Structure 1
Amino acid sequence: MKKRMIFATGNQGKMKEIREILADTEYEVVSMKEAGVDAEIIEDGTTFEENAVIKAKAIMELTGELTLADDSGLEIDALNKEPGVYSARYMGEDTPYPVKNQKILDRMEGVPEKERTARFVCVIAAAFPDGQIRTSRGTMEGIIGYEIKGENGFGYDPIFFLPELGRYSAELCSEEKNRLSHRGEALRKIKDIL
């Protein structure tokens, strides 16, 4: 029988990716909702690492169970690494991503391709019941495209262009995305720790 592990997120898009990547581990991954946890966690860290640790620790302390949490976001070099740790809260948490994506494209108007560099960053923190905390970091490098394109993925995927593939992140199938993505890389590293 698989051991249970909580992943501190309510984001169903993330849960799907996480379950696919951790499918071959000894753990059954459950969301906070599935674990019956309803907690408001204040992410007041200034780095992805700090926020991931805050979330993982809070839920582990509430449940006594192994908890993973991630903090991830998009860093755009031409915008001083914005939206960064504020990616989910950029323009307000209730602002739909198509609006956020269009705003970024508008802000990037006239920026030449070589200066459109960006990356997705993901840090995963594992909080163990014995108090031990471990983190891993993954990145996916690309550029900010010139349009909103693709039906797959979520968040900023439709404006994130991967020059070496000639496609947007939202045009990748889930197997490709899990293999190449920042979250996939961070999860594979945390898998080794587990």
Structure 2
Amino acid sequence: MRLAKTTIRAAAAAMFGVAVVSASATATHQAMAETTATHRAQETTASYRASGTTGTYRASEIAATHRAPETPAVVCGPGYKVLRQAGFDGGTAYLLYNAAKRNACAVTFKTRNVGTRSMVWSAVDVKDAGVVKNEEITPLHTVPVYHAVPAGAYVKFSGGTKAADSGGGYERIG
């Protein structure tokens, strides 16, 4: 019965990541508890395959480096396609359109000071229907702005930072 209690303690230790060994436990059980504690202290590794190269990395490295690429289409959502873009010193403004939803999306990505929080803005203007604009302090890109686009409407977009901006004139879409 003594062995069963010690085994249960060792199993509990493994489950909670601590070494719980009674004074009367045998040296074998102490070694098992130390091995379990050492295993818990190490970070789990995982196999990862990218660009034809296979390797073993820590799970935290994979999470930190393998994220979905941030593109205008990913930011705006499924079904949005880039129609136009306008570069400026420090970034690029994009106009995207989803034909199924009849919605335009504008988003601005920074190319300078990426990772540093700074002011970026985006706007989409549907002629005779108004402007939707977003301005925020962000490390990479603005939150996308959406505007309904009636069939055959004229749309223009713009985006920028405090230092520079760009955009395009009205163009018929939809």
TM-score tier, shorter chain, comes to under 0.3
More helix by share: 1
- TM-score, length-normalised on structure 1? 0.22
More strand by share: 2
Q: Which has the higher contact order (CA 8 A, sep 6+)?
A: 1
